[in-house]
Amino acid sequence: MKFEQLYADRARCMKTSAVREFFKLTEQPDVMSFAGGFPSADFFPMDKVNEVLSALIAEEGRFALQYGATEGYGKLRGYIAEKMTKEGAPCTAEQILITNGSQQGMDLVSKLFVNTGDVVLVEEPGYVGGLGAIYNYEADRVPIPLDDDGIRTDLLAACLRKLKLENRLPKFIYLVPNFQNPTGVCMSLERRRELLALARQYNFLILEDNPYGELRYEGEAIPSIKSMDTEGRVIYLGSFSKTFSPGIRVGWLMAEPEIIAKLSSAKGSTDLCSNSLGQRLAYRFAASGYIEKHVASLLPRYQERRDLMLDCMEKYFPPGVKWTRPQGGFFIWVTFPHGMSAHEILLKAIEQKVAFVDGAGFFVNDNGRNTARFSFSEASPDKIRKGIAILGEILEAEMAVACKKEKTA
Amino acid sequence: MKFEQLYADRARCMKTSAVREFFKLTEQPDVMSFAGGFPSADFFPMDKVNEVLSALIAEEGRFALQYGATEGYGKLRGYIAEKMTKEGAPCTAEQILITNGSQQGMDLVSKLFVNTGDVVLVEEPGYVGGLGAIYNYEADRVPIPLDDDGIRTDLLAACLRKLKLENRLPKFIYLVPNFQNPTGVCMSLERRRELLALARQYNFLILEDNPYGELRYEGEAIPSIKSMDTEGRVIYLGSFSKTFSPGIRVGWLMAEPEIIAKLSSAKGSTDLCSNSLGQRLAYRFAASGYIEKHVASLLPRYQERRDLMLDCMEKYFPPGVKWTRPQGGFFIWVTFPHGMSAHEILLKAIEQKVAFVDGAGFFVNDNGRNTARFSFSEASPDKIRKGIAILGEILEAEMAVACKKEKTA
C-alpha cells in the first residue's frame, strides 16, 4: 500500500465486517439469506410512504431538501421525547439527538468517551457493529459472557473488582438488552437492576441499544434500563430501522442535556446533520399514529417466520446442534457441536446458496468458532424451509465425517 | 458536569460551530440571513423531486427503504465515476465512496489518517466544518495564509521546510480550491501545480474539497488538483448539496481503491451506510441528465444575487471596508477596518434581524476578528438589499464612534 505509512494508529482497528460483506451476497435474488439483520422488504408500507412523501414535498419540500439542525428535526425530537416518556423514561426534546441509525450513536459515544486503551465492557457474543464502533477508537474491549438471562452480572462484578485493582475501570458498557444481537436473549429485570447498581458503584456509563424492543412476539415486556436510571447514567439508543425503514437512516440517542450538547457538537463535525427528507418522513409516518398500526401488523408476520425457522431447525438439524428460542427481534443463535467450524459449514452452505453469519465476528477474542447467527426476519417462508433443510443435510454430512474421524482415531 | 471525568481527551476539541448555531436563527422567516452556506430553497426542483420520488418508491421502494452497501449505491458510484472521468479525473466506481455530504468525507479521512498531535495543513481562513472535523481527532492544525489566488504556496514551502526540521511533516493538507469557503477565491492553476510538487516532495496527501466548483458565474474553469494527480495522492470530495439538495446528505469521496477500502470500513463502523432513499433520488435526478439542466438554471439566478450583494456593498458600505469579488460559489469575504470587531457588529446586526458569520471561526488561532463571511446564496434579492443597507448604517455609526475615539485619544 502506497500511503500506508501515513495511516493513523487506529487504522489497524478498521476491519471489514463479516456482516457487511453479506450485504452484497444478499443482493442476489435466489440466495436464501439468514445473514443480514434486515427487516423484510415485503413488509415495507409502500403505499403509505408514497402518500407521505408526496404530501411532504408539496407542503414542506423547502425544508425536506434543505440542511437541518445538527440535533435533528425539532418536531421529530419532540415526538421521540413523548414516546420515551410514555415508555417510562421521562425526557424532553433537548435530551434527544437524531442520528443516522443507532450505529452513529455508537460511533459518537465512543468518540466522546474513549481514549486509546480505555476499557469498554461488551457482551460476549455482542453486536458486531457496536464492537467495531468502539474498537475504531482503540478501546480495550473487555467481554462479559451472556446466558439466557442476558449478561452475567456475577461475572461482571468479578471483572469490575479486577479492573479496579488494575486501575482500569471502564468508561461504559455497551449492550442490547432486548432480543440481543446476535443471541436473541433478553436481559432479566433483576440483572438490569444489578447492572445499574454496579455502574453506580464503579462510576461508568451504560450504553443501552434497543432496536428490537418493540418487536416482541410473546411474553411480558421488561422495563428499559433507562427507565430505571435516576442519575442520567444511561445513554439510550433507539431506531426506526426495524419498525419502519433502515434505508432512511434515522435513529435517536437519549441522554442528559450536557452529553447531548457534546455529542451534537461531535455530530456536527461528523456530518453536519442527518438527512432532512428521512427525518420528516419518519416524523409524519410516526406522529400520524400510523407507526403503531404498522408495528402491530409486523408482529404476527415476524412471529410466523420465527416459528417456522424454529420448527425447521427442530425438524432438520441433527442432534447435538443447539439454538436459542427468542421471544422477539430477528435472531436465533445456533451452537454447533464443539470442534465443528461454523466458517466451514458456511462455505459449504454458500455453495448451495444458503447464507448465515459465522458467529466468530461477535466475539472480541478468537472464540465462538462453532456458533452462528440466523436471522429469520428477511427470508420468505419458502426460503426458510428450503434453506434450513439444506443446512440440515450439510450438518448431517459434517457430523457423519466427524464421527468417522473420531472412530478411526 | 456530572460525567465529565469520563470524557475522552478529544472532547476538549468538540466545539459548537458558530456557523451551525446560525442554522437555528435562520429558521425565523423574517431574518435577513447571509450566514449559512445554504443553497436557496427557492431553487429546489420540487416538481421534479416529487415525480422522481413517486417513481422511485413504486419501482424500487424495496431497495430505497432498505439498508444498502456501505460503499454506496452501485449505480450512483458508477455515475459519479463517469462524471469524474469526464471532468478530467479518470476513475472507476471502486474509487468512489458515497458519504453523508462532504462533511463525512472530512471526518473519515481524519479518522483514518490523524493521530493525536499529527500536523494537518489548513487554509487560513479555512472552512470551519473542515477545521472542526480535523480538530476532533486532535490534529495540530497548521494554517497557511490565502490571497486572491488561493493558498500561498511560497509560505507553504517555507512552512514545510520548518516542519521537516522539526520532524513534524503533515499527514495531509485540507483545502477548497474553487470559490473557497469562506473567502470565495479560486486557487490558480500554477499554485495547484506547485502544491502537487510540494506534496510529492514532502510526501503528504491532499484533501481537495470541491462543493462549489460547478457554480461558476464567470471566467474560465481551472482543472481540479485531482485531475493533475498521477500518484493517487489527492483525495477528492464532491457533493450534491449545492447543485441539488443538501437535505438528502449525499456526497462522495474519490481516492485510490486501497484508501476507499479502509475508509469504507471506517464508514461501516460510523453509520453502516448512507441513506438509500437520498442516494437513489440523487441517482435518478442526475443520471436522467436533469441535473445539468438544473445547474445551468441555477447559474444566472445565483449570479444575480452575487451581483446584487456586491452592488449593495459598493453602495452602502463605508470606505475602509473591503471585500472579495468571487467568480462563483456562495461567499463574499468582508474585511472591516483594523481594530473593528466583526463580533460586535454582528451583535448589533442581529438586533435588526440581519445575520452573517463572524470570521474568527475560520481561523485556527485568535485571528480574523475584523473579518466576516457573507453568503449571497440563500437570501432573496429584497432581503439582500434591505440587509446590506442596514449593515451599511451600522458600519457608518461604528466608524464614526471609532473616529471620535481616535480624535479624543
| pLDDT tens-place string over residues B337-366 | 999 999 999 999 999 999 999 999 999 987
Q: Which three cell numbers stand for residue A84?
A: 420515551
Please tell me the predicted confidence (pLDDT) of residue B26: 63
Residues A118 and A183 in one domain: yes
Residue B404 reports pLDDT greater than 90: no
- A·B CB contacts under 8 A: 281
Strand B205-209, strand B234-239: pairing: parallel
Residue B71 reports pLDDT greater than 60: yes
Residue B390 lies inside a defined structural domain of this protein: yes
Sequence-ordered strand ranges (E) for B100-258: 119-124, 140-147, 150-151, 172-175, 205-209, 234-239, 251-254
The per-residue pLDDT for range B32-59, each reduced to its tens digit, is 999 988 999 999 999 999 999 999 999 9
Q: Nearest residue on chain B to A59, judged by CA atoms?
A: B46
Residues B58 and B143 in one domain: yes
Which of A291, A318, A352 is the last residue in one of the domains? Answer: A291
Mean pLDDT within B310-323 = 97
Residues B89 and B218 in one domain: yes
Smallest CA–CA distance, residue A175 to chain B, in Å, is 16
Residue B3 lies inside a defined structural domain of this protein: no
Tell if the CB–CB gap between A132 and B268 is shorter than 8 Å. Answer: yes
- CA angle, B5 then B6 then B9, to 5°: 85
Answer yes or no: are the C-beta atoms of A110 and A88 closer than 8 Å. no
Cβ-Cβ contacts under 8 Å for A18 (sequence gap 6 or more): A128, A357, A358, A360, A361
Q: Nearest residue on chain A to B378, judged by CA atoms?
A: A66
Smallest CA–CA distance, residue A111 to chain B, in Å, is 8
Please tell me the predicted confidence (pLDDT) of residue B206: 98
Smallest CA–CA distance, residue A389 to chain B, in Å, is 27
User: 3-state DSSP helix/strand/coil percent for chain B, to nearest 5?
Assistant: 50, 15, 35
Please tell me the predicted confidence (pLDDT) of residue B409: 62
Smallest CA–CA distance, residue B338 to chain A, in Å, is 31
Q: Nearest residue on chain B to A22, judged by CA atoms?
A: B69
A395-A396-A398-A402 Cα dihedral, nearest 10 degrees = 130
The total number of structural domains that make up chain A: 2
Residue B406 reports pLDDT greater than 80: no
**Mapping DSSP to helix (H, G, I), strand (E, B) and coil, where does residue B58 land?**
helix
Q: Nearest residue on chain B to A172, judged by CA atoms?
A: B6
- CATH of residue B374's domain is 3.90.1150.10
- Name the residue facing B275 among A132, A273, A275 (closest C-beta): A275
Tell if the CB–CB gap between A70 and B23 is shorter than 8 Å. Answer: yes
Please tell me the predicted confidence (pLDDT) of residue A36: 87
Mean pLDDT within B90-119 = 98
Q: Which three cell numbers stand for residue A95?
A: 435530551
Which of A247, A275, A291 is the last residue in one of the domains? Answer: A291
Residues B203 and B326 in one domain: no
Tell if the CB–CB gap between A54 and B58 is shorter than 8 Å. Answer: no
- Name the residue facing B41 among A66, A172, A246 (closest C-beta): A66
Residues B328 and B190 in one domain: no
Residues B69 and B118 in one domain: yes
Residues A241 and A373 in one domain: no
Residues A122 and A253 in one domain: yes
Residues B191 and B278 in one domain: yes
Residues A71 and A164 in one domain: yes
Please tell me the predicted confidence (pLDDT) of residue A24: 65
- Name the residue facing A54 among B50, B61, B63 (closest C-beta): B50
In DSSP terms, A207 is beta-bridged to: A174, A235
Please tell me the predicted confidence (pLDDT) of residue B36: 86
How would residue B20 be classed by pLDDT, with cut points 50, 70 and 90? Answer: low
- Name the residue facing A107 among B114, B204, B270 (closest C-beta): B270
Q: Nearest residue on chain B to A54, judged by CA atoms?
A: B50
- Name the residue facing A266 among B3, B114, B136 (closest C-beta): B136
What does the DSSP assignment read for A182-232? TT-----HHHHHHHHHHHHHHT-EEEEE-SSTT-B-SS-----TGGG-SSS
Q: Supply the range of the domain harboring residue B325.
A: 8-44+292-408
Residue B342 lies inside a defined structural domain of this protein: yes
Which of B258, B290, B322 is the last residue in one of the domains? Answer: B290
Q: How far is CA A86 from CA A83, A211, A287, A400, in A?
A: 5, 17, 14, 54
- CATH of residue A111's domain is 3.40.640.10
Sequence-ordered strand ranges (E) for A266-306: none
Residues B280 and B161 in one domain: yes
Residue B14 reports pLDDT greater than 80: yes
> Along the 409 residues of chain A, how does pLDDT read in single tens digits?
579 999 999 999 997 665 556 666 666 778 999 998 899 999 999 999 999 999 999 999 999 999 999 999 999 999 999 999 999 999 999 999 999 999 999 999 999 999 999 999 999 999 999 999 999 999 999 999 999 999 999 999 999 999 999 999 999 999 999 999 999 999 999 999 999 999 999 999 999 999 999 999 999 999 999 999 999 999 999 999 999 999 999 999 999 999 999 999 999 999 999 999 999 999 999 999 999 999 999 999 999 999 999 999 999 999 999 999 999 999 999 999 999 999 999 999 999 999 999 999 999 987 999 999 999 999 999 999 999 999 999 999 998 887 777 777 6
Answer yes or no: are the C-beta atoms of A268 and A98 closer than 8 Å. no
Please tell me the predicted confidence (pLDDT) of residue B28: 76
Smallest CA–CA distance, residue B185 to chain A, in Å, is 23
Peptide bond into A39 cis (omega under 30): no
Residues A102 and A248 in one domain: yes
Please tell me the predicted confidence (pLDDT) of residue A365: 87
